[in-house]
Structure 1
Amino acid sequence: MSVGQPPAHRPKWFKSSYSGGNATECLEAAYTPDGVLIRDSKRSSGPRLELSRRAWAHFVAGVPAR
């Protein structure tokens, strides 16, 4: 029996509805128990930005409505 780290949470990624048809500039996000992860859809194994729930709420509140 292994004593290492427990299996990592596998986030369910989604693209913004504002992404449109432009496949060259898209972010993906995933909700986690602690907040939200954000990544570049073209580099899914690349770096991720982790935001707290509070920071995400402030970000979304600052996005202008279309």
Structure 2
Amino acid sequence: MTREPKWHKSSYSGGNTNACVEVDEGPRTFVRDTQHRNLTTLTFPAETWDDFITAVKNGEI
């Protein structure tokens, strides 16, 4: 059984911009461009995604 993705817009995307990213977080995290939803998504292990978010929040990248 495959679960339905629960996409949410990144809080960093802003409200009135066309440059948006959506994320579906779970055991594997999926990231897609809202302008090209039908194209491929990037996929990361949850731990890798968490490390990335922490590094962004800490100003490391």
Q: Report TM bin, short chain.
A: 0.7 to 0.9
Please identify runs of 4+ aligned residues in structure 1 that moved more than 6 A: none
User: Kindly, what percent of the aligned residue pairs are identical?
Assistant: 33
- The answer on 1:36 being equivalent to 2:29 is yes
Unaligned runs of 5+ in 1: 1-5
Number of matched pairs = 58
Q: Deviations over 1:5-61 (max 9, x none)?
A: x5x3210100012211342211100023x2210000111111101110111011001
Give the TM-score, by structure 1 length: 0.73
* Structure in which a larger fraction of residues adopt helix: 2
Unaligned runs of 5+ in 2: none
Q: Is the 8 A contact 2:23 2:31 kept in 1?
A: yes
CA RMSD across the alignment = 1.7
